Structures are given as C-alpha cells and as structure tokens.
C-alpha cells in the first residue's frame, strides 16, 4: 500500500501496465477476431477498488477504474458486431495477492469486519457469473460491471 504522493514511478507503471494496458491489448486482439465472426463475449476483471477508490491503493484503483471505463467504451463500440463486453468486479477474495493481508492477525480481521457478510469470497464463487456472462443467457447484457463483494459495494 502506498499513498499517491509516495508511489514510485516504476511501481505505478507496473500496476497500470499489468492491469490496464494488459487488459487493453487482450480486448483489442480478441475483439478484432470476434468482429470478424460477428459474435462473442468479453469478460474483464475489474475490482471494487476501481469504483470505491481506497486510500493507499491509488495505482491499483486507477488501473481497475480504467478497466471499468475500457469495458464500457468497448461495449458500445462492439455492440454492432454482436459482441458483448462486461466486467466482474470482485471485492476481497482469498487469492495469492492478498493472502498475507488476510492472514495477518491484525489486518485480516479488520478487512473482514468491513465486509457486510463478514467473510472473504472464494475464487470458485466467481465462476457461475463468468459462465452466465459468457453464455447466451446474457444475450441482452453489455457494458455492465457486476460486483461480487459480500455487500461491500452496498455501503
């Protein structure tokens, strides 16, 4: 965690390049193929942080906020090619990236207390939404961000 004023240039660039630029490159290439076949569904991974702007996570929040905007812009550009573009915005899920914070005896309980469901998500809880967004069942869904946050986005 780093305040904006304390964020080193290389740290900022790494996070933006990984989360936003990487997503842009993938979307651009996949969309080109989907435009040719006149169908498809792109599902980006955003984050609650991209909408809530948590202090100390400036680069991460900015990158995920960028993914949200990229998703919406591409959804509008792709709609005439029968391509849907949506995003999933997870809250706290137990992943390798945040395991140390969640397992920390001081920080972990604080994180869990901020979540209305009083628990973190498990990665397998994301799958059903991804399957839905990839399926024809979501044929009228594009440009949306679905947050899976244990109620965190309701606060």
pLDDT in tens, 65-103: 999 999 999 999 999 999 999 999 999 999 998 999 999
Task: Assess whether 60 carries a catalytic annotation.
Answer: yes
Helices (H) and strands (E) in the chain, counts: 7, 3
Q: Which run of H or of E encompasses 148?
A: strand 145-148
Could you tell me the pTM of the whole model? 0.95
Report yes or no: 68 and 20 within 8 Å, Cβ to Cβ.
Answer: no
The third-level CATH classification (topology) of the domain covering 4-90+126-147 is Rossmann fold (3.40.50)
Q: Which run of H or of E encompasses 50?
A: helix 49-52
Express each pLDDT in 33-48 by its tens digit. Answer: 999 999 999 999 999 9
Question: Residue 1: what pLDDT?
Answer: 78
Task: List the structure tokens of 31.
Answer: 């969309």
Question: Residue 43: what pLDDT?
Answer: 98
Catalytic pick among 60, 92, 146, 147: 60
**pLDDT over 90 (residue 53):** no
Q: Domain residues of the chain, as ranges?
A: 4-90+126-147
The closest of 124, 3, 20, 11 to 66, measured between CA atoms, is 20
């Amino acid at each position: 965690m780093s305040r904006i004023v304390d964020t080193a240039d290389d740290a900022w660039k790494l996070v933006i390049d990984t989360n936003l630029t990487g997503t842009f490159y993938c979307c651009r290439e996949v969309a080109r193929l989907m435009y040719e076949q006149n169908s498809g569904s792109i599902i980006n991974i955003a984050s609650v942080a991209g909408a809530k702007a948590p202090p100390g996570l400036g680069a991460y929040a900015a990158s995920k906020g960028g993914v949200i905007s990229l998703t919406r812009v591409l959804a509008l550009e792709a709609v005439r090619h029968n391509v849907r573009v949506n995003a999933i915005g997870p809250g706290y899920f137990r992943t390798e990236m945040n395991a140390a914070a969640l397992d920390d005896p001081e920080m972990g309980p604080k994180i869990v207390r901020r979540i209305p469901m009083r628990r973190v998500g498990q990665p397998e809880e994301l799958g059903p939404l991804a399957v839905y967004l990839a399926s024809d069942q979501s044929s009228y869904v594009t440009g949306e961000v679905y947050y899976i946050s244990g109620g965190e986005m309701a606060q």
